[in-house]
Structure 1
Amino acid sequence: MVRISIERVFFRLVLGMGIMVSSSGLVHAGDPEAGKAKSVVCAACHGIDGNSVNPLWPNLAGQHAPYLSKQMRAFRSGERKDPVMSPMAAPLSDEDIDDLSAFYASRKPK
């Protein structure tokens, strides 16, 4: 009979979940300060702090970084199409997207 301790089972479970999350693209380690510098173009529609003054454009402030990153990657790849956002996302690297996402996630929604 094989005996496995609770600690060992728990460790394997946590390790497995970590691998699944990181391989699914849900872990993003963007730099909010770098994102702030890169957000100058975004501010025209989404506001300086991610709070849009126009109801046509969504607020980005306070959104979850993984959600924002996923949407920007979808615009960039063409999976999600928008005549304004698709060309804006096209030149962005993964690092740019993660930095922007981290910046907007760190902003307070109004």
Structure 2
Amino acid sequence: MTAKNTPLLLLVTAALAAALCAPALAADPAAGRKKARQCQTCHGIDGVARIPIAPHIAGESQIYLENQLKAFRSGKREHEIMSVVAKGLSDEDISDLAAWYASIKFTVTLPK
């Protein structure tokens, strides 16, 4: 590789990395809200956990949520409940759910 090819290689590498990490463009938060009914027992429709062993997921990054759901679905990440639930999710379901929970806005108040 020559020095004059380096900027092009960096540009191509950055574009590829962005494409691989970007959430699906067709993600639909409204569809995700409907699909989140199956999640509401543990995570709440608003993303605030209802049970002590479930994390709050409201406002989490869409990319993070998609990656975690795909990891549960593939078996790369295991949990007695999430592994079962995620197995039945399509890529579209995962993108929609992640878009819904990522779209929730919340504020945090620190103690004084």
TM-score, length-normalised on structure 1? 0.81
Tell me, what secondary structure is at the counterpart of 2:38? coil
Tell me, what secondary structure is at the counterpart of 2:34? helix
The CA distance in 2 between the partners of 1:20 and 1:63, in whole Å, is: 20
1:45-87 per-residue CA deviation (whole Å, 9 max, x = no partner) reads 1012111133311011000000000000000000111110000
For 2:43, which of 31, 41, 46 is the aligned residue?
46
Residues 1:104 and 2:101 are matched in the alignment:
yes
Residues 1:56 and 2:40 are matched in the alignment:
no
The CA distance in 1 between the partners of 2:84 and 2:43, in whole Å, is: 16
The CA distance in 2 between the partners of 1:95 and 1:39, in whole Å, is: 13
Shift of 1:14: 4.4
Tell me, what secondary structure is at the counterpart of 2:41? helix
Structure 1 residue runs without a partner (length 5+): none
Calculate percent identity across the aligned residue pairs.
42
Contact 2:41 2:50 in 1 (8 A): no
The CA distance in 2 between the partners of 1:96 and 1:70, in whole Å, is: 13
What residue is the counterpart of 1:27 in the other structure?
22
RMSD: 1.8
Contact 1:51 1:109 in 2 (8 A): no
